[in-house]
A and B are shown apart, each in its own frame.
Chain A
Amino acid sequence: MKPRLASLLDYYYESMYPTLQALEEKRLTILSSLKKAALMLVFLGTVLFFVLSRTNVFTPLHAFLLSAMSGFLIFMFIYRHERAGYDSLFKDLVIEKMIHFLDPSLIYTKMDSIDEREYERSELFSEAYDRFSGKDLVCGEIEGVKVRFCDLHVEKKVRTKNGKEEWSDIFSGLFFVADFNKTFHAKVVVLPDVAERSLGILGTWLQGVNPSRGELIKLDHVAFEKLFVVYGDDQIESRYILSHALMERIVAFHQKIDKPLYLSFVDSKLFLALHYTKPLFEPILTRSLLEFESIKAYFELLTMITNIVTEFKLNEKLWSKR
């Protein structure tokens, strides 16, 4: 039976709380150092502004921008330096413990991620990328199903209208891989249906002529069709994978999570990507660790991820996978 929130509460106060007190002290020390650094930098920035604006080289606006930028950059340097150790300790004392509490067989590696080949193999995002990074890799078996998931960030370099280069997200969020409960050879990609929702019939036509994704698979599930567009290379096998029951579960999962959801089925594996705008397992420096509420959010997120196996019934294997 899976651990529940009530048992986490007991675990939190019995096993985690004593160690979290030391971490909480560190958090308060960091906050205090950052406040002091901020005050100091505001003071130094003001001095620098007056010095620069009195010279004939800079206008007051330029002097203000230069001093503010310098102050901000120095502050960001101090901020990153101060919280680096704290983040690492937080993951050891909170995230890893919580993962083991959910399932002791799962292995957590805070600095590792799913590799690029696996990301490319999923065929979820066809855009070329320039930067690939990830962390918080979890591997193991849930209900007899092999799973791997991590927090992934994939970006590309884009040129703005002003000619400047910027990093733009291709994907940021949870990337989850699991063994699927059926053996198949076709590739099926399920993407959020943006074109049909915004352009109607024209959108459907455009989806049909998209050569990079394969054949458009029109499915006989109204709610699923409204939410997703499906591409595959075999009409029959795509429907073998996406049975009515699975489409039903995907729709229910999507409604519950309410985040852009991407799925693909390749080489008898399920790839799932959930788009998050913020990092998944990073600590929030302004929240006390001694309050259960701040821990609860991480627990709920981890429970949601580990429940994917049972929500999609990946553990109910067909004959060929036994």
Chain B
Amino acid sequence: METFLVVAGLIFLLVVFMYNTLISKKNQVDTIYAGLDAVLKKRHDLLPNLVASVQEYMVHESITLEKITELRIKAMTHSLDSRETIALEKQLSSMLGNLMVAVENYPTLKANENFLHLQATLSEVEEQISAARRAYNQSVNDYNNAIEMFPTNFMAGLMHLERKEVFSIPKQERSSVDVKNLFQK
């Protein structure tokens, strides 16, 4: 009887430990996602000023500018889940990358004081987004490992926990949104 109680106690402790581990990893993902969301909002706040200061110079880039405005409005007004946000921000990063490459063709814009200030701010925000994205991906990776690895995968199944998507950016796009490097050329 005593042996049975000891074994039952150990199993109970193991279940509690696994449950708490999974919950803490899930909460970690949510906390870091909130941080990521906050820096993404910083970028959204910056975009109207950026578009306003470049549109009179960049006459041939109106489609890109319209797309950026449209994506920003979508990100700000629609309540998107993490998967949709990640997909939308990927598009936004890609469009911003294209825009910054196009800036090279407008020397008067590159000399504009207001634009220089905006590009420096954007460069810093991009650094913060990059940091938040890395932190988010690490937490998602830890969480995904926990729900797929033995023995926590059984507990994760019972708790109906699902894999989360990492915030990845294709390599060529990642380099094109590296605004800091772009403007240091």
Chain A residues packing against B (C-beta within 8 Å): 182, 218-220, 235-240, 243, 318-320, 322
Contacts and interface: CB of A to CB of B under 8 A. Distances in A.
25 contacts: A218-B138, A219-B134, A219-B138, A220-B134, A220-B138, A235-B28, A235-B32, A235-B35, A235-B135, A235-B139, A236-B35, A236-B36, A236-B128, A236-B131, A236-B132, A239-B132, A239-B134, A240-B128, A240-B131, A240-B132, A243-B127, A243-B130, A318-B120, A319-B117, A320-B124
Given A236-B32, A243-B127, A319 B120 contact: yes
Interface in B98-127: 117, 120-121, 123-124, 127
B152 interface: no
A319 B124 contact: yes
Nearest to A221: B134
B145 to A, nearest CB: 11
Contacts of A236: 32, 35-36, 39, 128, 131-132, 135
Given A239-B132, A239-B134, A243-B127, 14 more contacts: A220-B134, A235-B32, A235-B35, A236-B32, A236-B39, A238-B135, A239-B135, A240-B127, A240-B128, A240-B132, A243-B130, A318-B124, A319-B123, A319-B124
A240 B131 CA distance: 5
A239 B129 CA distance: 10
B33 to A, nearest CB: 11
Contacts of A243: 127, 130-131
**Cβ-closest 8 pairs across A and B:** A240-B131, A239-B131, A319-B120, A235-B135, A236-B35, A236-B135, A319-B124, A239-B134
A236 B121 CA distance: 18
Contact of B127 (A219, A238, A318): A318
Contacts of B124: 318-320
A239 B130 CA distance: 8
Interface residues of B, number: 22
B120 A322 contact: yes
Contacts of B139: 235
A75 B30 CA distance: 68
B137 interface: yes
Contacts of B135: 235-236, 238-239
Interface in B29-63: 32, 35-36, 39
Contacts of B128: 236, 240
A240 B35 CA distance: 12
Contacts of B28: 235
A160 to B, nearest CB: 41
A318 B138 CA distance: 25
Interface in B2-30: 28
A85 to B, nearest CB: 51
B185 to A, nearest CB: 14
Nearest to A235: B135
A143 to B, nearest CB: 16
Contacts of A237: 131
Contacts of A320: 124
B90 to A, nearest CB: 18
A237 B132 CA distance: 8
Residue of B117, B124, B135 ringed by the most chain A CB atoms within 10 A = B135
Contacts of B32: 235-236
Contacts of A240: 127-128, 131-132
Interface in B129-151: 130-132, 134-135, 137-139, 142
Contacts of A238: 131, 135
A322 B132 CA distance: 23
Contacts of A218: 138, 142
B149 to A, nearest CB: 13
A318 B123 contact: yes
B36 to A, nearest CB: 7
A218 B127 CA distance: 18
Contacts of B36: 236
